[in-house]
Amino acid sequence: MTTINHIRIDEVNERLPDDSILLIDVRNLDAYQAGHLTGAIHLNKNELDSFAGKTDKSQAIIFYCYHGISCHAVAQYFADQGFTNIYSMDGGFEAWRLQYPVARAENTPE
């Protein structure tokens, strides 16, 4: 079984300039639109199989949710699918937004 790596928000912030890392937001769509990490992709549970099927299993992926708990289960799902370079962001979006800027969907009021 592949080990899921935990990553702190400060480590994510340091790695963000790396375009080869995928950031995956697994919160609900309304929460994503209200604010998310810059460059993050929203992924809901109905899209997991499709996304996993078209993504390189060696791709570096950082998953995050509200508090860093439910994204661990999604990361485990990807580990079970054979992905080898996956991370679960400790503290989730709520910890991130307290220290770093967030992006908003273009049609979402501030």
CA distance 21 to 19: 5
Partners of 83 in the beta sheet? none
In which residue are the tokens 């220290």 written?
99
pLDDT of amino acid 2: 65
CA distance 24 to 62: 6
CA distance 18 to 22: 9
CB 66 within 8 A of CB 31: yes
User: pLDDT tens for residues 9-34?
Assistant: 999 999 988 889 999 999 999 999 99
Q: Please name each of the domains of the chain with its CATH number.
A: 5-99 (3.40.250.10)
pLDDT of amino acid 4: 87
Q: What values do phi and psi take at 65, rounded to 5?
A: -135, -150
Residues with catalytic annotation? 65
Q: Which residues of the chain have pLDDT under 70?
A: 1-2, 106-110
